[in-house]
Chain A
């Protein structure tokens, strides 16, 4: 059904993304592409792969932002600007507008775990779901004419042919910096939920009213190095270093 599940789903499977650790290496982006182009539904096609207007369908992308403090938190050594790498894929919203706008019922949210999926057999490729999504989580596959989106690697997480340890989304499994975590955000005692609670995990664009399941952990507050400068003695006269060598002799005697 194109309507959202009437009751909150018993599980809210999703991702927690740690912006304090993501180094923007795009590992998750490419591994996602690689897994999903041969997996769920149509291949993730690329247009003009070796040409000028190269483009393709991707389910996960890493944006890079520059954040310049303006009376905000002091970062870096003197409040300098910083780069924040920002991976983004479907947030599997509880109030997913992409589901309700779908005219064919292709777009749906699973009642058992909250994963938002596209049934490609039903998709007419109207693109309205992509319009309705404020996050840009859906991309049309131009070759198949169907909408593609993150499936949370549903063909991995329930795949009994995989080792238990590997039953997690490809992006999470491959992330070298451990910036991506997968779990049930509906269970307050899950590791991901506790992480969100401890680190003040946030929703993207809460004003859009979509109630995303995926959470982002903001960069941790920083303490400037200059704050430690006082620990070092200043001002001693170092000429000839005689005081230093006297101390050194003392040290040697104690060894």
Chain B
């Protein structure tokens, strides 16, 4: 018998392939969804897609189970039981929208700030932000504040862009790649593909990370650093590079503010600020004519050191002199930082040596003539093939902003920003801070029944741009852009519930959340947050946060705390737009955006949140959503994506614009636009001309290209801000010499942390607790198979990570006589949790860690009540308070970066005590009811059995 006859080798896979964009995490890979008999047969990566080029991760491949998960919500819900009980009744969409409109309309008339609208895992911030602005509440942000705002803010303020959505290593050319901290979180497939390229090209890959898992596991060198000390390590490298004179002086002079003169007039309102001419242009000292001239003057040869007298008689020095003096200080020598960082001096010196060697001895040149924005011609692009990447690992510390600044400074010092082999910007970045708006939300920016006068989020240029009242009190519910966190450019979502509950700075009436699991793993102090959501005003008997509207596709823990639930679709049932106005997916060589479209029709009474928001906007008669007669402007989100224009010719999508669909960037709206995207694999990509591909911050061809594409209306070159003037303005306010003055309570803290040059200070959470009582660091990361995925209840993914253990270094295990499976109390200054442990050697010896967000609340996510996720698994969140321990004056700071308000998840300090054997981790919460009735929990899944050959 011929065996092969038994095997059907050439069966067509499916009836049809529909190409859309993945949403199982934040990468936004292109996917081919194979449809067979109206069901999903298979999801694979789209080979033509620029983000993932055909590959797909575990999450993307588990999309089928996400789509068909029993945890999906089925209809709009109105709460009937007490909050947290999970008891709801199904209502019609009409009723749900009427309720929401009633609540929101009242607030908009009375006091629009009493709506707090925050979106979690949002990929449509250009819509949600626009909606909030038209509504007129000052209280809007997405989840960046508890995610990676330090990275974004520091990057944009220093070099005009940051990692991930703003830029990427030049994977093809880099010869040394240094990865700081956990980075499996963002850009996961591109980084994996990049690491593969490094390995193929024989490049060296160094990982600096307390835990050696994931990418760190394959690094050529692993530096198991003590959490929160990366900034110090970077500054020690800078020290070594300066000392060895291995810096790119030419690059610094051309592209950074190293030559800009800093006024040296202590005690005055301008001390430490840049000396400027009458037009506000910064000044430099020209060495040939020995004159002070405006930066960028043609032919000027600016100095990098030396004290200069200005025309007004004051003295000034180039900012680079301050920089060099600061970092040449022996306190940054490798030997001096070895104990604090836990990294041997020779390792630091070796890393510095490798960075220098590769940057300068292995420099590469791409022969491609180009012209810089000063009109100077260059024969080629000189590349320093050293690249860096970092994300939450650096971000989620209270010194993360300064650390990220330090990293960008290091890149600039060796001339490795946007050069061949270095870190490269992705359009529409870089953009200087001056091209970003300032924040809006002060009392004069909003009022009854009118839009906010400008965008909520932006970059303050100094204390004058803060959103505070005359007494310095915060204007926003999350206290963003206040003296607490002046550069909180993504808001502070993690403080919203606590502040609203406390009525500080004021109570809110409606809390409107989208895809943010604030009653569980997205909040610090989860138990406390749950109490706040359940807490009632003893007099009125009303909840302290009276009305909560929540939109989610799944029965997450947060659903149980909503009063009104707007059920969202799965990612395969919806329209979406990954827009250049929002969070771009461009590559260094190409401008890109993408869409999602319903490749499967919903089989439940659910609607895409964005369409619902647009509907609500029209019902509320918001400008931009309804015309003068109250007629809706848009049918749904798809219609909005095509027809909305932010500026003339600029809409959510850059591709296939114009009546013929042949315009990119700017162009008239095209009714066929979505169809053209779908035909093109649901994305659009246009290449940057070769002469415009590098040094974009100062490349005339790129700047012209950017104007053509509509990134900006005039060229916006970036001068790298090593010395950060806006931080110095805050210090002057804190010194009491410059208006507006900082409140007394904040002065010391600002002076200690707002150094205009990248600095390192011990993380606040660590500095405020006793190191002997809490000797260890406790950190978390999500596993690669679940990172950023909305719902680890996925039937396939949950088999990989059904429960989590606390990983404890071998040395600690021996001291405490701990073996795998033993239980411990993990204790912080705030709380304690009882958890199972597992031993690990490949981890920093003072650090324990676990996989995050495996733990679920009993009854949530459509899982059985006795699942390990709800019994044995645990969250570290319980140990982390949203506030730091009280100071002597009784005040408590938010547990955030003092500059950006970034949630300092990784500052946690703990001690461990051996506990009795356990079965259920502690704390354990009472189960919640399933929101829309008991879900079928199949005993067995045989997905695809109908297609057995």
Direct touch of chains A and B (CB < 8 A): yes
Complex Cα spacing A39 to B344, Å: 53
A38-B947 contact, Cβ under 8 Å, with A25-B785, A232-B352, A255-B250: yes
A37-B943 contact, Cβ under 8 Å, with A66-B842, A80-B224: yes
Choose, from A95-103, A127-135, A186-194, A242-250, the stretch at the interface. A242-250
* 30 A–B pairs (Cβ distance < 8 Å), ordered by A: A25-B58, A31-B61, A45-B940, A46-B799, A46-B943, A47-B939, A49-B795, A49-B940, A51-B939, A52-B864, A76-B212, A77-B223, A77-B343, A78-B344, A83-B212, A84-B217, A144-B942, A155-B7, A155-B8, A155-B9, A160-B9, A174-B44, A174-B55, A174-B57, A176-B56, A224-B221, A225-B347, A238-B328, A251-B245, A252-B253
Chain B residues, CB < 8 A from A249: 303, 305
- Establish whether residues A51 and B41, one from each chain, have CB atoms under 8 Å apart when the complex forms: no
Q: Say yes or no for B290: interface residue by CB 8 A criterion.
A: no
Shortest C-beta distance, A212 to chain B (Å), equals 21
Shortest C-beta distance, B256 to chain A (Å), equals 14
Within 8 A of A (CB), among B193-224: 193, 195-196, 199-200, 206, 212-218, 220-224
Shortest C-beta distance, A151 to chain B (Å), equals 8
- Establish whether residues B799 and A81, one from each chain, have CB atoms under 8 Å apart when the complex forms: no
Choose, from B84-92, B353-361, B892-900, the stretch at the interface. B353-361
Interface 1/0 per residue, A115-143 and B, CB below 8 Å: 00101010000000000000000000011
Choose, from B10-18, B633-641, B748-756, the stretch at the interface. B10-18
- Establish whether residues A43 and B799, one from each chain, have CB atoms under 8 Å apart when the complex forms: no
Q: Considering residues A43, A112, A166, which has the most beta carbons from chain B within 10 angstroms of its beta carbon?
A: A43
Among A44, A154, A233, contact of B9 (Cβ-Cβ < 8 Å) = A154
- Establish whether residues B244 and A30, one from each chain, have CB atoms under 8 Å apart when the complex forms: no
Chain B residues, CB < 8 A from A85: 217-218
A226-B196 contact, Cβ under 8 Å, with A80-B841, A233-B244: no
- Establish whether residues B353 and A229, one from each chain, have CB atoms under 8 Å apart when the complex forms: yes
Chain A residues, CB < 8 A from B200: 178
- Establish whether residues B192 and A174, one from each chain, have CB atoms under 8 Å apart when the complex forms: no
A174-B196 contact, Cβ under 8 Å, with A68-B841, A159-B9, A247-B245: no
Q: Say yes or no for A24: interface residue by CB 8 A criterion.
A: yes
- Establish whether residues B948 and A42, one from each chain, have CB atoms under 8 Å apart when the complex forms: yes
Chain A residues, CB < 8 A from B785: 25-26, 30
Among B60, B784, B867, contact of A51 (Cβ-Cβ < 8 Å) = B867
- Establish whether residues B199 and A21, one from each chain, have CB atoms under 8 Å apart when the complex forms: yes
Complex Cα spacing A44 to B128, Å: 41
Within 8 A of A (CB), among B826-872: 840-842, 862-864, 866-868, 871
- Establish whether residues B938 and A50, one from each chain, have CB atoms under 8 Å apart when the complex forms: yes
Interface 1/0 per residue, B791-819 and A, CB below 8 Å: 00101111110100000000000000000
Complex Cα spacing A56 to B942, Å: 10
A225-B221 contact, Cβ under 8 Å, with A23-B192, A83-B212, A161-B13: yes
Residues of B whose CB lies within 8 Å of any CB of A are: 3-4, 6-13, 36, 41-45, 47, 52, 54-62, 64, 70, 184, 188-189, 192-193, 195-196, 199-200, 206, 212-218, 220-224, 240, 242-245, 249-250, 253, 287, 301, 303-306, 321, 324-325, 328-330, 343-347, 349-354, 356-357, 784-785, 793, 795-800, 802, 840-842, 862-864, 866-868, 871, 937-945, 947-949
- Establish whether residues B58 and A43, one from each chain, have CB atoms under 8 Å apart when the complex forms: no
Among B62, B784, B868, B944, contact of A52 (Cβ-Cβ < 8 Å) = B868
Chain B residues, CB < 8 A from A52: 864, 866-868, 871
- Establish whether residues A232 and B356, one from each chain, have CB atoms under 8 Å apart when the complex forms: yes
Complex Cα spacing A77 to B212, Å: 12
- Establish whether residues A229 and B350, one from each chain, have CB atoms under 8 Å apart when the complex forms: yes
- Establish whether residues A228 and B7, one from each chain, have CB atoms under 8 Å apart when the complex forms: no
Chain A residues, CB < 8 A from B250: 255
- Establish whether residues A54 and B798, one from each chain, have CB atoms under 8 Å apart when the complex forms: yes
- Establish whether residues A42 and B218, one from each chain, have CB atoms under 8 Å apart when the complex forms: no
Chain A residues, CB < 8 A from B796: 30, 33-34, 46, 56
Interface 1/0 per residue, A174-189 and B, CB below 8 Å: 1111110000000000
Complex Cα spacing A96 to B804, Å: 36
Chain B residues, CB < 8 A from A22: 218
- Establish whether residues A248 and B218, one from each chain, have CB atoms under 8 Å apart when the complex forms: no
Chain B residues, CB < 8 A from A231: 350, 353, 356-357
Among B9, B212, B939, contact of A81 (Cβ-Cβ < 8 Å) = B212
- Establish whether residues B842 and A80, one from each chain, have CB atoms under 8 Å apart when the complex forms: yes
- Establish whether residues A245 and B56, one from each chain, have CB atoms under 8 Å apart when the complex forms: no
A252-B61 contact, Cβ under 8 Å, with A37-B943, A228-B357, A241-B328: no
Chain B residues, CB < 8 A from A165: 47
Q: Which secondary structure dominates where chain B touches chain A?
A: mixed
Complex Cα spacing A58 to B943, Å: 13
Chain A residues, CB < 8 A from B188: 25, 176
- Establish whether residues A178 and B196, one from each chain, have CB atoms under 8 Å apart when the complex forms: yes
Complex Cα spacing A212 to B940, Å: 34
Complex Cα spacing A44 to B58, Å: 16
Shortest C-beta distance, B22 to chain A (Å), equals 12
- Establish whether residues B217 and A24, one from each chain, have CB atoms under 8 Å apart when the complex forms: yes
Among B60, B212, B305, contact of A245 (Cβ-Cβ < 8 Å) = B305
Q: Say yes or no for A110: interface residue by CB 8 A criterion.
A: yes
Among B221, B941, B945, contact of A76 (Cβ-Cβ < 8 Å) = B221
Q: Say yes or no for A41: interface residue by CB 8 A criterion.
A: yes
Q: Say yes or no for A27: interface residue by CB 8 A criterion.
A: yes
- Establish whether residues A108 and B325, one from each chain, have CB atoms under 8 Å apart when the complex forms: no
Interface size class of A (residues with CB under 8 A): 35 or more
- Establish whether residues A45 and B55, one from each chain, have CB atoms under 8 Å apart when the complex forms: no
Complex Cα spacing A142 to B941, Å: 11
Chain A residues, CB < 8 A from B44: 31, 170, 173-174
- Establish whether residues A77 and B347, one from each chain, have CB atoms under 8 Å apart when the complex forms: yes
- Establish whether residues B942 and A244, one from each chain, have CB atoms under 8 Å apart when the complex forms: no
For the complex with contacts A45-B942, A224-B347, 14 further pairs of A-B residues with Cβ separation under 8 Å are A20-B218, A23-B195, A34-B62, A37-B942, A49-B938, A51-B864, A58-B799, A160-B10, A174-B56, A176-B56, A177-B192, A236-B243, A244-B242, A251-B245
- Establish whether residues B6 and A119, one from each chain, have CB atoms under 8 Å apart when the complex forms: yes
Complex Cα spacing A43 to B947, Å: 8
Shortest C-beta distance, B924 to chain A (Å), equals 15
- Establish whether residues B784 and A38, one from each chain, have CB atoms under 8 Å apart when the complex forms: no
A155-B11 contact, Cβ under 8 Å, with A229-B346, A232-B353: yes
Shortest C-beta distance, B187 to chain A (Å), equals 11
Among A20, A121, A234, contact of B6 (Cβ-Cβ < 8 Å) = A121
Chain A residues, CB < 8 A from B184: 23, 25
A176-B321 contact, Cβ under 8 Å, with A121-B6, A160-B10: no
- Establish whether residues A227 and B305, one from each chain, have CB atoms under 8 Å apart when the complex forms: no
A82-B212 contact, Cβ under 8 Å, with A38-B42, A154-B7, A177-B196: yes
Q: Which residue of A lies closest to B214 (CB)?
A: A23
A81-B218 contact, Cβ under 8 Å, with A51-B937, A232-B353: no
Interface 1/0 per residue, A150-164 and B, CB below 8 Å: 000011001111100
- Establish whether residues A38 and B10, one from each chain, have CB atoms under 8 Å apart when the complex forms: no
A252-B799 contact, Cβ under 8 Å, with A25-B57, A232-B244: no
Complex Cα spacing A29 to B943, Å: 16
Chain B residues, CB < 8 A from A170: 44
- Establish whether residues A80 and B212, one from each chain, have CB atoms under 8 Å apart when the complex forms: yes
- Establish whether residues A229 and B305, one from each chain, have CB atoms under 8 Å apart when the complex forms: no
Complex Cα spacing A55 to B352, Å: 48
Chain A residues, CB < 8 A from B57: 25-27, 174, 176
- Establish whether residues B948 and A43, one from each chain, have CB atoms under 8 Å apart when the complex forms: yes
Q: Which residue of A lies closest to B304 (CB)?
A: A248
- Establish whether residues A225 and B215, one from each chain, have CB atoms under 8 Å apart when the complex forms: no
- Establish whether residues A224 and B330, one from each chain, have CB atoms under 8 Å apart when the complex forms: no
Among B215, B224, B240, B245, contact of A77 (Cβ-Cβ < 8 Å) = B224
A41-B948 contact, Cβ under 8 Å, with A23-B195, A158-B9, A244-B328: yes
Chain A residues, CB < 8 A from B9: 154-155, 158-160
Q: Which residue of A lies closest to B844 (CB)?
A: A80
Complex Cα spacing A128 to B99, Å: 63
Shortest C-beta distance, A141 to chain B (Å), equals 9
- Establish whether residues A224 and B945, one from each chain, have CB atoms under 8 Å apart when the complex forms: no
